[in-house]
Amino acid sequence: MGADPFLVQRPRHRQPTYQCARGDAGRKALLQERPQTSPLPYSADGFYEWKKEGTARQPLHIRRADGDLFALAGLWEEWKQPDGALLRTCTIVTVAPNELMLSIHDRMPAILAPEAEAAWLDTTQPDLSALLTLLKPYPAEAMEAFAVSRRVNAPTIDDPTLLNFH
């Protein structure tokens, strides 16, 4: 998974972009690719970020304070590579951090307000500035972050105990 812009000639030889479009200019450029680039929501109950503490990095789980699911603003596209093979890519749109995230990282995923989800998915929306207004930091007071096991660094481990602090 990751976005490989259609202009990349050999996407398999580079790192994919999992998060994209920092700043209004970048987000506007991506949205102008519509309908080649289409919006999608990623449903999530939280996400991980790593906070630097001295020389170590502590993984944190960030979620809504009420524990409810939320939708991350995402984009996907499908295009043919020079060799004719079909490539499907997707990415999560990022925005500036809110007050909670500011001490953790310089960006955060664009979390869509529930009332904004339908507008984000409306591919007929011609007004790019209206779509850009949907991409903003989620209110810090509605979120929480807590330290979790450093075992989240191992991609082979995937179980509920990862959310336990060790």
- Rounded alpha-carbon distances, angstroms, from residue 155 to 50, 60, 73: 15, 16, 24
DSSP secondary structure code for residue 160 in this structure? G
User: 11-163 in CATH: which number?
Assistant: 3.90.1680.10
Overall average pLDDT of the 5-28 stretch: 50
Helix ranges restricted to H, the chain: 24-31, 99-102, 117-121, 128-132
pTM of the predicted model, to two decimals? 0.76
The string of pLDDT tens digits covering residues 106-132 is 999 999 999 999 988 887 776 777 888
pLDDT value, residue 117: 92
The string of pLDDT tens digits covering residues 21-72 is 545 555 555 555 544 667 788 899 999 999 998 899 999 999 999 999 999 9
